Amino acid sequence: MLDVKYLRENADAVDAAMASRNATWDRERFFELDELRRKTIAEVEELQAQRNRVSKQIGKLMREGKRQEAEDAKALVREGNERIERLGELRDDTDAQLKELVAALPNLPSPSTPLGGDESDNPEVRRWGVPRAFDFEPKPHWDLGTDLDIIDFERGVKLAEARFYLLGGLGARLERALINFFIDLHTQIGFKEWWPPVITNYATLFGTGQLPKFDEDLYHVNPDLYLIPTAEVVLTNIHRDEILSADDLPLWYTAFTPCFREEAGSAGRDTRGIIRVHEFDKVEMVKFSEPESSMDELESMTAEAERCLQELGLPYRVVSLCTGDLGFGACKTYDVEVWLPSYDAYKEISSCSNCWDFQARRANIRYRDPANFKGTRYVHTLNGSGLAVGRTMAAILENYQNADGTVTVPEKLVPYMGGVEVIGPEA
């Protein structure tokens, strides 16, 4: 959520920022509500001061025998109290409307976020590895998985619905291997592992920006609970309504969870395979940082996502999302895209974002640093995939396939696969 004071004092800059994001905001309504709120507060304060003055006079008037004047003063206090009560109701209603308006606004882009209208304007930052040149016709992962009897799409649909799939044999083992491998990589460099619930509440989803804007993309368990779309949601909200110590920052958290997304607007996109599905496994990274170092934390988080792919020997590239392609809560984002032969292109496998204080303001996550400032400040929150497991499996199957239809297991994964070096039809 954006700072109301910033919106009030930098409206023209907000206009430009929203335009760069292909978004709009009701500037006129904002100032109308903001002015009404401030006038209401000022009148309440004035009435309270008057009540205090008059209340002090009542006793004196009684002692002096001026009963009628005392009664008039009491009436004035009662009238003031009634007015304060009505103004309180008005302020509550105004606050609610103002919060609703501001909560719908996306984050402001960082000055270092490139300008652009959509994903076609995302500049490439760097590449790692060289896509493999096959001396045979490579298969897409959906055919490889079916031929090897490790991915069953038909039974996945039977068990649930379209865009669900079933893993069996070494397919299930590979999924588990990747999860453990990623978690081990992250915890070895200082990330703290968590095992959070996958069902969450409105306040948690509001804190990270999924609600109310993206309600239709979420799976509802009941009117009050939801399945999480990513572990970012629960990891970030661990410290909701808390004040942290600067001595404990930065905090690095990681977790594996299944993730659930309705993605109502995704019909017709990536309908084959396991690239875009309604349930998928992901290892997530989340950081809490002081504002001054959050951009450095973004760079190191992105490097950690890249390390996962480097350890697996998978070619990838990094792009910087332009303003028009930026996610709702992000001020700056790097997408890490792995090479997929079936697409003859790079596909997103990790998205690492700095949200500045946008989520912390919504979730009320602050920190205290008595040595450098009075009071508290909002932390900066960051999140990134480390990695999306299903997409990593697809990339391994396609990039490590052999002419005989088998798939070589990346060297670093062999210990996690119980020594299995090749996935064959007998899997």
Give catalytic residue positions.
261, 276, 348, 351, 391
3-class SS shares of the chain: helix, strand, coil, % to 5:
45, 20, 35
- In the block, tokens 């993605």 appear at 263
Nearest to 338 by CA among 365, 361, 305: 305
Task: Please name the amino acid found at residue 48.
Answer: Q
Whether residue 387 has a cis bond before it, omega within 30° of 0? yes
Cβ–Cβ under 8 Å, residues 309 and 336: yes
Task: Locate 133 and state its tokens.
Answer: 């040149």
Cβ–Cβ under 8 Å, residues 113 and 323: yes
Q: Where are the beta strands (DSSP E) in 106-246?
A: 124-128, 151-152, 166-167, 192-194, 199-201, 220-222, 225-227, 242-245
Give Cα 276 to chain centroid, integer Å: 18
Task: Locate 123 and state its tokens.
Answer: 């500049």
Angle at 98 between CA 96 and CA 102, to 5 degrees: 120
Nearest to 260 by CA among 301, 232, 291, 229: 229
Task: Locate 219 and state its tokens.
Answer: 């799976």
Report the side by side order of strands in the sheet with 376-378.
Answer: 242-245, 365-368, 376-378
Distant-in-sequence contacts of 295-298, Cβ < 8 A, 24+ apart: 295/110, 295/112, 295/332, 295/354, 297/250, 297/354, 297/380, 297/382, 298/332, 298/334, 298/352, 298/353, 298/354, 298/382
Nearest to 178 by CA among 353, 356, 417, 338: 417
Report the C-alpha gap between 212 and 23 in whole angstroms: 16
Q: Which residues contact 426 (CB under 8 A, 6 or more apart)?
A: none
Report the C-alpha gap between 144 and 190 in whole angstroms: 36
- In the block, tokens 């899997």 appear at 427
